[in-house]
C-alpha cells in the first residue's frame, strides 16, 4: 500500500520526515538527480507522518490529476493511513491546499533565482528559461495543473504572483538586450504567453515530445523568432 507513494517526492523538496526519505526508491521516470541523498535509513521503520509529507503528496496528486483530485480520504489511502491522521495535522482541506501551494511557490521562486540568476548573458538566460521545461518535471506538472484551476480562490493569486515573478525576469533580460521599456514588456508577455500556450498544447497532447527532434526544431524557431541576434 506504500507502493503508490512515488519516490518522486525527494527530487524536488527537502523532507523533514524519515518516511518520505525511505520512500525514495528511485522510481522517478524523468529525473535522476535527487536533492536529498538516498541516505540508507532502516526500512520498515515506518515513522509517523509529518504535515510536510501530506503537502508533498498533495502536490504529487495535483501534478498527476489536478487540484480537484486532492480529496482527504483518497489522499489518506495513498499515504497508507485514514482521515483521522489528516485532521490531526490540518484543520481542513483548504489548509492543506494552502500550505502545499505555498511550499511549491517557495520552491519555484528560489529555483527561478538559482537557475536563471546565475547566467550573465541575457540571451542565454532566456534560452535556459525554455529549456528548463524539460527538467524539473514535477514542479512543471504542478504548474500546468494549477493553470487548469485558475478559478480556484487560492490558486489564482498564486498564478498571478508566479507569472509576475517570471515575466519580470524575462522583461529584464529583454531590457538588457536593448529593448526599450514598452517593447521589453510586450515581448516578455509574448514570450511567456508562448510558454503558457505550449503548456496548454501539452495538456491537449498536441505538443511534440520534449526529447523529440520536432521539439528541438520548434524550440530553435521560437528562440530565433523571439530572441534577436546580437
Would you tell me which residues interact with a second copy (CB under 8 A)? 65-66, 147-151, 156, 159-160, 163-164, 182-183, 186-187, 189-190, 192-201, 203-206, 217-218, 221-222, 225-226
Nearer residue to DNA within complex by CB, 21 or 126: 21
Q: Are 156 and 191 in contact, with CB atoms under 8 Å apart? A: no
By CB under 7 A, residue 41 contacts DNA: no
The enclosing H or E element of 171 equals: helix 155-177
By CB under 7 A, residue 76 contacts DNA: yes
User: Which of these, 142, 173, 156, lies nearest to 65 by C-alpha position?
Assistant: 142
Nearer residue to a second copy within complex by CB, 82 or 150: 150
> How near is the Cβ of 86 to DNA at its closest, in Å?
8
Q: According to CB under 7 A, which one of 4, 26, 39, 82 is a site residue for DNA?
A: 82
CA distances from 50 to 8, 66, 69 (A): 17, 22, 21
CA distances from 181 to 57, 94, 118 (A): 42, 40, 23
- Residue 57 C-alpha cell reads as 503528496
> How near is the Cβ of 179 to a second copy at its closest, in Å?
10
Q: Compute the residue count for the chain.
A: 230
Buried b (16+ CB within 10 A) or exposed e, 16-30: ebbbbbbbbeeebee
The CA-based angle 207-58-18, given to 5 degrees, is 120
The binder of 149, among a second copy, DNA, none, by C-beta within 5 to 8 A per type, is a second copy
By CB under 7 A, residue 177 contacts DNA: no
> How near is the Cβ of 70 to a second copy at its closest, in Å?
14
Q: According to CB under 7 A, which one of 34, 36, 50, 111 is a site residue for DNA?
A: 50
By CB under 7 A, residue 149 contacts DNA: no
Cα-Cα end-to-end distance for the chain:
56
Nearer residue to a second copy within complex by CB, 130 or 176: 130
Stretch that binds DNA, among 69-77, 107-115, 129-137, 154-162 (CB under 7 A): 69-77
- Residue 159 C-alpha cell reads as 498564478
Residues in contact with DNA by the rule CB under 7 A: 48-50, 70-74, 76, 80-85, 87-89, 91-94
Amino acid at each position: 500500500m506504500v507502493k503508490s507513494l512515488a519516490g518522486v517526492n525527494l527530487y524536488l523538496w527537502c523532507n523533514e520526515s524519515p518516511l518520505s526519505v525511505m520512500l525514495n526508491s528511485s522510481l522517478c521516470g524523468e529525473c535522476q538527480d535527487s536533492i536529498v541523498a538516498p541516505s540508507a535509513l532502516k526500512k520498515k521503520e515506518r515513522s509517523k507522518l509529518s504535515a510536510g509529507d501530506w503537502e508533498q503528496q498533495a502536490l504529487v496528486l495535483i501534478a498527476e490529476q489536478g487540484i480537484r483530485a486532492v480529496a482527504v480520504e483518497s489522499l489518506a489511502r495513498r499515504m497508507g493511513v485514514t482521515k483521522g491522521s489528516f485532521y490531526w495535522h490540518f484543520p481542513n482541506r483548504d489548509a492543506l491546499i494552502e500550505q502545499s501551494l505555498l511550499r511549491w511557490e517557495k520552491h519555484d521562486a528560489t529555483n527561478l533565482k538559482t537557475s536563471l540568476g546565475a547566467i550573465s548573458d541575457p540571451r542565454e538566460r532566456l534560452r535556459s528559461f525554455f529549456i528548463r521545461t524539460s527538467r524539473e518535471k514535477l514542479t512543471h506538472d504542478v504548474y500546468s495543473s494549477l493553470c487548469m484551476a485558475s478559478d480556484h480562490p487560492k490558486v489564482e493569486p498564486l498564478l498571478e504572483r508566479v507569472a509576475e515573478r517570471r515575466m519580470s525576469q524575462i522583461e529584464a533580460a529583454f531590457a538588457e538586450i536593448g529593448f526599450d521599456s514598452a517593447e521589453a514588456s510586450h515581448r516578455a508577455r509574448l514570450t511567456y504567453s508562448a510558454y503558457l500556450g505550449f503548456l496548454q498544447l501539452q495538456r491537449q497532447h498536441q505538443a511534440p515530445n520534449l526529447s523529440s527532434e520536432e521539439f528541438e526544431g520548434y524550440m530553435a524557431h521560437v528562440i530565433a523568432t523571439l530572441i534577436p541576434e546580437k
